[in-house]
């Protein structure tokens, strides 16, 4: 089941924020990054390489795409 809920906030056609309160708690930050990544890809026309580059720039870190895929797959179990 693909997450179709847009967790994105927009104003004047620009992304201004991201909300995710479901199953809140302390965990690996890749869990939230992964769900944001999936939601953004589903709800925009951004390609994966462009999105990866944008997220890496915003977070100031290189993404581990294996972890991104892992957490996306793991979320399918819930």
Higher pLDDT, 17 or 24: 17
Cβ within 8 Å of residue 41, ≥6 positions away: 48, 51
Say whether pLDDT at 53 is over 90. yes
Measured in residues, the chain has a length of: 78
CA dist., res. 75 & res. 12, Å (int): 31
Output the pLDDT for position 1: 44
Residue-wise pLDDT for 33-46, tens only, equals: 898 899 889 888 88
Domain map of the chain by residue range?
26-75
CA dist., res. 61 & res. 54, Å (int): 11
Mean pLDDT for the chain overall: 82
Distances (CA, A) of 25 to 31, 32, 43: 11, 11, 25
């Amino acid at each position: 089941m693909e997450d179709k809920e847009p967790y994105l906030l927009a104003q004047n056609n620009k992304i201004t924020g991201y909300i995710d309160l479901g199953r809140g708690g302390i965990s690996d930050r890749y869990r939230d990054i992964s769900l944001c990544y999936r939601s953004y890809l589903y709800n925009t026309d951004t390609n994966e390489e462009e999105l990866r580059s944008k997220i890496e720039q915003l977070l100031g870190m290189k993404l581990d795409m294996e972890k991104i895929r892992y957490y996306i797959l793991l979320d399918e179990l819930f």
